[in-house]
Amino acid sequence: NAGVTQTPKFQVLKTGQSMTLQCAQDMNHNSMYWYRQDPGMGLRLIYYSASEGTTDKGEVPNGYNVSRLNKREFSLRLESAAPSQTSVYFCASRIQEGGPFETQYFGPGTRLLVL
Amino acid sequence: DAKTTQPNSMESNEEEPVHLPCNHSTISGTDYIHWYRQLPSQGPEYVIHGLTSNVNNRMASLAIAEDRKSSTLILHRATLRDAAVYYCILRPTGFQKLVFGTGTRLLVSP
């Protein structure tokens, strides 16, 4: 199993450009998440998808959109990138919602620099 | 969300035990205590979790105070690979998100 994979690993954008961050998991998990991590900070939840066909906002959703394409894939789109969105983006997945103990599995991250 | 308080950083020598503390004085009865760690340039990874009783797994042990207002993650023999940021997180039953604080940066010296 590859676990959670993310593409690209690194991206440089100019202000105003758009891009989509891709995430896929091969563990047959129902729930998927997008976080961002700014330097020296903990992770903050952007959006999540409890199951295929549903998405919900997290702590910091402004400036982002998401698509749960199918059970495996969950993408994050920046429509008009801003320097404040410079960050490391992590995708995660979890077997299912409803219990407090199911582990979240994280991808390796996408480092995004917006100039 | 109930908050956790952790020291910013701790140091240890290789092959010595490490005790990473976490205070969570506002914890509620349904909050599970989770620990994740983040190795340099990687995503977080699960370490251990517990509710009331002490827990052991292959990675670490979790000691939970009787009043549940604090907990301690114990690495029995630190290795260089254990150098990471360790996050103590409270998770209510059924709650979707993990709320990460700034964690404790563990430095391990040879």
> How close, in Å, is residue A18 to chain B by CA atoms?
24
Mean pLDDT of chain A: 92
Q: Please, which residues have CB within 8 angstroms of residue B66's CB and are 6 or more apart in sequence? A: none
Return the pLDDT at B35.
94
- Nearest CB to B102; choose among A42, A45, A105: A42
With 80 as the cut, is the pLDDT of residue A100 above it? Answer: no
Question: Among B94, B99, B103, whose Cβ lies nearest the Cβ of A100?
Answer: B94
Could you give the count of Cα atoms lying within 13 Å of B108 in the half-sphere of its Cβ?
19
Would the CA dihedral through A60, A65, A70, A74 be positive or negative?
Answer: negative
What residue in A sits closest to B39 (Cα-Cα)?
Answer: A108
Residue A63: its pLDDT value, please?
A: 96
Residue B2: list chain A partners with CB under 8 A: none
Whole-number average pLDDT of chain B: 91
pLDDT digits (tens, 9 = 90+) for B14-66: 999 999 999 999 888 888 899 999 999 899 999 999 989 999 998 899 999 99
Model confidence at B96, pLDDT cuts 50, 70, 90, reads low
